[in-house]
Amino acid sequence: MTSEHPSHLAASLRRRGWLLSAWPWRALAYLVSTVPIAGVLTVGLLVVGAPLLPVVSTLRRQGRPPSIALMLFLITGSIILVALAPIVSFAVGVVERWRVRLVDNRPLPSSPWPGLAARYRSAATWREVAYLFWLGGFVPVAYWVFLVLVLLDVGMVTSPWLAGDSEPVVIWQPIESTGEAVPYAIVGVLLLPVLCYGVGLLAAGQAAVARWALTSPVDAAALREVARSRTRLVGAYEAERRRIERDLHDGAQPRLTSLTLQLGLARLDVPEDSPAARPLAVAHDQARGLMVMLRQLVHGIRPQTLTDLGLAGAVRELADAAPVAVTVHADIESALPEIVDTTAYFVVSEALSNVARHAGATRAEVRLSRVGGDLVVEVSDDGRGGADPARGTGLTGLADRVAAADGRLLLSSPPGGPTLVRVELPCRR
């Protein structure tokens, strides 16, 4: 969301010209539509709180204790209502999530009905129940206070007209004449925008509470689960690539080499003028072409340097191929999980090619280290900095790769440099 179009009421309040925008009206609509819902809930709340009333009155009058039958009746009603609250709160939640759109453009989706038992078990349900009590208990009180203020202001603004009547108008003190009322009227008019902002603040506060109470935390758990399964998937995919690379390298490639060698040997003993010489030469050439092709294919499946040299060696190899001077500090001894190896390799590869393409650097440094359970990869250069993921320097794709491995990528690249890319990859086995 840009600041040009605030996505919700609270954000809009900080903008100039708020009073002239649609927001105050949206806030008002939100408050007004709250009234019937809060009203119904207040009645329910009074029933829940009913058993307290005889107790309170008894204490005040020091009279007879309330009858047992009455108390039992009230308490039963109270318990039944509390027990029904999770069901009521579901319906209210659906309505409230829809209604909050009046002052908030960010969607707040409702989950489908989860079934009765599940409804009573989830923490989100009881958050909604708490919201129910808040909406029926606290909100009406706040509205009354605000309504009193509004009526007071209306009285002040209209006091010059009312003061001429027989009855004196009472604001703080009795006002007898129109002349006395004028200062009150002026203050009243000045307070009008303040009240408008009050409407905005009230609605914004209420919407914030609604958003907090009605956002189901289920989503976060689901996201974590998705991330985990994605990591598993990427890991499995990586292991599969490695297996294919191995099978080709250890099986197909040497056999093809052997075949080509045999053809080469055969050509030595076949005289040039023999009818077999030409097809044999063609076969030999084709086999050689196939060897080159297979070699490129295997390298594309997985960098073989990684398989043979491990991460540190493969990174040194990358550093050697870079057009700027690169120093490598590798402080990793134990073997890393497949996905960490590969991700780290691509991070360094991409970061170094960025250095070559954009940074205008003369030297770069790659650091591999273990910090706690993480592998930390740092690539720094002395270039001009100002690397911006939004400008498509391959950093975004890199971040995606890192995220798939459940890691995170940090970038520091002030204009004028130096640039540092830091990637942290968890090494849980």
Scored b (16 or more CB within 10 A) or e, 204-228 reads bebbbbbbebbebeeeeeeeeeeee
Q: Which stretch binds other proteins (CB under 8 A): 24-32, 81-89, 294-302, 420-428?
A: 294-302
Relative orientation angle of helices 395-404 and 338-354, to the nearest 10 degrees: 170
Q: How far apart are CA 423 and CA 379, in angstroms?
A: 9
349 binds other proteins (CB under 8 A): no
Q: Is 257 in the site for other proteins (CB under 8 A)?
A: yes
Among 77, 198, 205, 313, binds other proteins (CB under 8 A): 313
The DSSP bridge partners found for residue 420 are: 380, 412
Question: CB under 8 Å to 127, separation ≥6 — which residues?
Answer: 213, 214
**Dihedral of the alpha carbons of 125, 38, 79, 129, in degrees to the nearest 10:** 10
309 binds other proteins (CB under 8 A): yes
Q: Does 260 bind other proteins (CB under 8 A)?
A: yes
Q: Does 101 bind other proteins (CB under 8 A)?
A: no
297 interacts with other proteins by CB under 8 A = no
Q: Which helix (H) or strand (E) holds 216?
A: none
Q: Extract the tokens encoding 158.
A: 């209209």
Q: Is 347 helix (H, G, I), strand (E, B) or coil?
A: helix
Indicate whether 367 belongs to the interface with other proteins (CB under 8 A): no
The correct pick among 7, 58, 327, 396 for binding other proteins (CB under 8 A) is 327
Q: How many residues bind other proteins (CB under 8 A)?
A: 42
**Residue 270 · residue 277 · CB < 8 Å:** yes
Q: Which listed range, 52-60, 166-174, 257-265, 404-412, lies at the site for other proteins (CB under 8 A)?
A: 257-265
For residues 154 and 192, give the distance between their C-alpha atoms in angstroms, rounded to a whole number: 9
Tell whether residue 287 is a contact of other proteins (CB under 8 A). Answer: yes
* Of 180, 317, 374, 382, the one binding other proteins by CB under 8 A: 317
Site for other proteins contains 299 (CB under 8 A): yes
Q: How many other C-beta atoms can be found within 10 angstroms of the C-beta atom of residue 262?
A: 12
* 292 binding other proteins? (CB under 8 A): yes
Angle at 394 between CA 236 and CA 406, to 5 degrees: 35
Which amino acid would we find at residue 31?
A: L
* Structure tokens, 170: 């009472």
What the block records as the tokens of 65 is 């204790």
- Which one-letter DSSP state was computed for residue 299? H
Decide whether 182 or 259 has the Cβ nearer to other proteins: 259
Q: Does residue number 400 form part of the binding site for other proteins (CB under 8 A)?
A: no
Complex with other proteins: residue 318 or 399, whichever CB lies closer? 318
Complex with other proteins: residue 223 or 325, whichever CB lies closer: 325
Does residue 69 touch other proteins according to CB under 8 A?
Answer: no
Residue 270 engages other proteins in binding (rule: CB under 8 A): no
Q: 66, 105 in Cβ contact below 8 A?
A: no
Cα gap 264→9, rounded to integer Å: 80
Residue among 72, 79, 147, 265 that touches other proteins (CB under 8 A): 265
Using the rule CB under 8 A, which residue among 59, 170, 321, 410 binds other proteins?
Answer: 321
Q: What is the DSSP string of 196-214?
A: HHHHHHHHHHHHHHHHHHH
* Of 320, 371, 372, 390, the one binding other proteins by CB under 8 A: 320
> Is residue 348 a contact point for other proteins (CB under 8 A)?
no
41-60 residues in contact with other proteins (CB under 8 A) are none
Q: How many helices (H) and strands (E) does the chain have?
A: 13, 7
Sign of CA dihedral 152, 157, 158, 162: positive
Residue 390, interface with other proteins (CB under 8 A)?
no
Rounded least distance, CB 342 to other proteins, Å? 16
Interface pick for other proteins out of 101, 119, 242, 316 (rule CB under 8 A): 316
> Which of 264, 279, 397, 414 touches other proteins by CB under 8 A?
264
Q: How far is the CB of 244 from other proteins (least distance, A)?
A: 15
Element (H, E) at 50: none
Candidates 102-110, 261-269, 332-340, 395-403 — which segment interacts with other proteins by CB under 8 A?
Answer: 261-269
Q: How far is the CB of 217 from other proteins (least distance, A)?
A: 47
> How many Å apart are CA 44 and CA 107, to the nearest integer?
29
The residue to which tokens 């009354």 are assigned: 144
Q: How far is the CB of 370 from other proteins (least distance, A)?
A: 21
Q: Which amino acid is at 383?
A: G
* Residue 194 vs 265, nearer CB to other proteins: 265
Residues binding other proteins (CB under 8 A):
246, 249-251, 253-255, 257-258, 260-265, 267-268, 284, 287-288, 291-292, 295, 298-299, 304-305, 307-310, 313, 316-317, 319-321, 323, 325-328
